[in-house]
Chain A
Amino acid sequence: MATADSEETLKHPERRFSKDTRNRLTAIGRHAVLLVWAVVVLFPLYWLVSMSLKPAREAIALPPKWLFVPIFSNYAELAQNGEFVYAFFNTVFMVSVSVIVVLLIGVPAAYVLSRYDIPRQRDVLVWILSSRMLPPIAVVIPFFVIFRKLNLFDTRIAMMFMYITINISLVVWVMKAFFDGIPETLEEAARVDGASRFQSFLRVILPSAKPGIFSVAIISFIFAWIELLFGLVLTNQTATTVSMQVYQFIGVKQIEWGMLAAASTAVIVPVLVFLIAVNKYLAAGLSFGVVIKE
């Protein structure tokens, strides 16, 4: 019991710092760790961008030249490079279409796998995942042969098909987990309210799953965008991809460091634009399946 008498016997445990100071020190420590981590993560990006803004000789100078006057000639030259520009927009087109198609197929498939009792459901899921089980190098030759036979070599259709193949398992698996986290009572409420199963999917579940959809969209976009191997083997000119064009700057005899850096930087831009556009949905989406548990 706390009485006036017993208060005298209460002790303040001795601590070197006050509670406020300790809190402040913890905050400083935490920020220091984050800062170090940010430097580790962002340094290669800084290196790349700075390299793209230096003349060829300075680009790989050792020790590096930290202070320099930026030049934009690499970018100007890149913009003049017809093959690169063609490949850039060609890839934007192929990847965008493939992401839309993979979402159109994968999201409803994931919903069905999440909500309906399907015989051998587990096997179906593993079968879908199996498209990613073999290393790409193992399947690229058969695909090359097949596409040649079907007259699909070096076509956008073939590349888009490959991108869809790469991403379908990701979309189905992640979205299934996401739908599993959305309470089924939402659809039931919608059904009681007069919506059909399809309407409740379209008007209630799909909007609730937006964070998940944007997350798999951005990840699918990145996977397709940075794809190199299939581009190298399955295309020649028409369906050429931007990563192949970046690769062009690594010549047999010399590497065009400035151009390579500028092209690499340009390649990052669409991903960044996409990320910023859907940023507000991502935070929730990346913590898959915990959106609206009660």
Chain B
Amino acid sequence: MARIKLDNITKEFGDGENSIVAVDDVSLEIHDGEFVVFVGPSGSGKSTLMRTVAGLEDQTDGDVVIGNTIVNELSPSDRNIAMVFQNYALYPNMTAEQNMSFGLKMSTDLTDDEIEQRVTEAAQMMGIEELLDNSPGDMSGGQQQRVALGRAIVRNPNVFLLDEPLSNLDAKLRTEMRTEINRLQNDLDVTTLYVTHDQTEAMTMGDRLVVLNQGQLQQVGTPLECFYRPANQFVAGFLGSPSMNFFTGHVEGGTFRTDGIDFDLTERIQSSLGDRNEVTLGIRPEDIELHEEPNSAHGFEAVVDVVEPMGSISYVYLRPEKQESEKTFVVETEGQRATTVGDHMYVEFPPESVHLFDIDSGETIHQRRLNEDAEEALRDRMEKNLSA
């Protein structure tokens, strides 16, 4: 087990004018035994960053520290890591058992008996004892995934690196394996880096998220921190499904005005504005209230454009009545609530749920309010992180 420290890591591909910066000056510390998820859209540099830790990619600048060693010059095998790849990368010419023992044979002096024992133990842990004689071609995706995890466990590494390991599985299996990986990480308590583009996976799996976009670090924090206290508009929009609704507009005499919507800002919100006149307002679909009748002075009228029933909830896409463009925003409602396309609704944005973002930098200038318990829990957690 080991901590990982990334010091000003930059990775450029190509030379001179044609070079592309995949990772841009990222610094980060991952504690011993921690489960950290790198999350971001494709091209955000999350896989490149993980591959730099693995030693499969050489950083252009910066240091990678595993434990107390600067590993920049060490080959992947000397870093004592184990990696699970998106396509599992099982050796097609070997059986599951040979796949699992390959690493031990290549990098340790263990005897055949010791290797066999370790493979059997790992196989038991993953529930794949009966697959040991099968070759990868004879296994289903889920089974291959288990063997790939087994191959990583058997090495008893300092660090686990998992590169989008669930994205080739079907939805049901993905949920199962998600739980399984969580359990495994808890049991083994090995420092784990996990790369995914799937925000649900990121939210449910990690102790901490590292949100990346275009090679730049956006935010590091617990899933709930990143969700409720997004550092900027990108993080706010990336986490949560469907995404947060954003409205860009200007502030006039304490009222936020945008195409078809007027929203009175509370004093607390106004105090965050500074000297800004233009801001982006963000509110999550589950925080918006829909009423049949006008409920308060804050509300505005909107027409239902599309309804997506998901079962216990529905996503209702609405267009403000007075809006000139066709742009819609989405609201999460109860699944049993009868809503039809063309219905007229009164929409209300609860002021405590509203975020504001700087229009140029995208930085968050106003965070939503949380209930006291949540506020306290988040504060504790943030303090703990700072002191660590």
Please report A residues at the B interface, Cβ cutoff 8 Å: 183, 185-186, 188-195, 199, 203-204, 207-208, 210, 291-292, 294
With the chains together, A185 CA to B91 CA distance in Å? 10
16 inter-chain pairs at a CB distance below 8 angstroms, sorted by A residue, are A183-B87, A185-B87, A186-B92, A189-B89, A189-B90, A192-B56, A192-B77, A193-B106, A194-B106, A195-B102, A195-B106, A204-B91, A207-B93, A208-B93, A210-B93, A292-B137
Q: Is the CB–CB distance between A193 and B102 below 8 Å? A: yes
A191 touches which of B77, B82, B90, B108 (Cβ 8 Å)? B77
Q: How large is the interface on B (under 10, 10 to 19, 20 to 34, 35 or more residues)?
A: 20 to 34
Q: Is the CB–CB distance between B93 and A204 below 8 Å? A: yes
With the chains together, A207 CA to B91 CA distance in Å? 9
Collect the chain B residues with CB atoms within 8 Å of residue A188's CB: 54, 56, 76, 83, 85, 89
With contact pairs A208-B91, A208-B92 given, residues A194 and B107 touching in the complex (Cβ less than 8 Å): yes
Of chain A, the residue at the smallest CB distance from B161 is: A192
Q: Is the CB–CB distance between A294 and B168 below 8 Å? A: yes
With the chains together, A208 CA to B54 CA distance in Å? 24
Of chain B, the residue at the smallest CB distance from A204 is: B91
Collect the chain B residues with CB atoms within 8 Å of residue A294's CB: 87-88, 168
Q: Is the CB–CB distance between A193 and B92 below 8 Å? A: no
Q: Is the CB–CB distance between B75 and A191 below 8 Å? A: yes
Chain B nearest CB, measured from A263 CB (Å): 41
Q: Is the CB–CB distance between A192 and B76 below 8 Å? A: yes
A193 touches which of B56, B77, B137, B168 (Cβ 8 Å)? B77
Main SS at interface, chain A: helix
Q: Which of B54, B83, B87, B93 has the most CB of A within 10 A?
A: B93
Please report B residues at the A interface, Cβ cutoff 8 Å: 54, 56, 75-77, 81-83, 85-93, 102-103, 106-108, 137, 151, 155, 168
Collect the chain B residues with CB atoms within 8 Å of residue A191's CB: 56, 75-77
Q: Is the CB–CB distance between A190 and B93 below 8 Å? A: no
Collect the chain B residues with CB atoms within 8 Å of residue A204's CB: 91, 93
Q: Is the CB–CB distance between A185 and B89 below 8 Å? A: yes
Of chain A, the residue at the smallest CB distance from B168 is: A294
Of chain B, the residue at the smallest CB distance from A186 is: B89
With the chains together, A207 CA to B56 CA distance in Å? 23
Q: Is the CB–CB distance between B91 and A189 below 8 Å? A: yes
Q: Is the CB–CB distance between B85 and A189 below 8 Å? A: yes
With the chains together, A260 CA to B135 CA distance in Å? 49
With the chains together, A204 CA to B54 CA distance in Å? 20
Q: Is the CB–CB distance between B77 and A195 below 8 Å? A: yes
Collect the chain B residues with CB atoms within 8 Å of residue A203's CB: 102
Collect the chain B residues with CB atoms within 8 Å of residue A193's CB: 77, 102-103, 106-107, 151, 155
Chain A nearest CB, measured from B56 CB (Å): 5
Collect the chain A residues with CB atoms within 8 Å of residue B54's CB: 188, 192
Chain B nearest CB, measured from A120 CB (Å): 16
Of chain B, the residue at the smallest CB distance from A210 is: B93
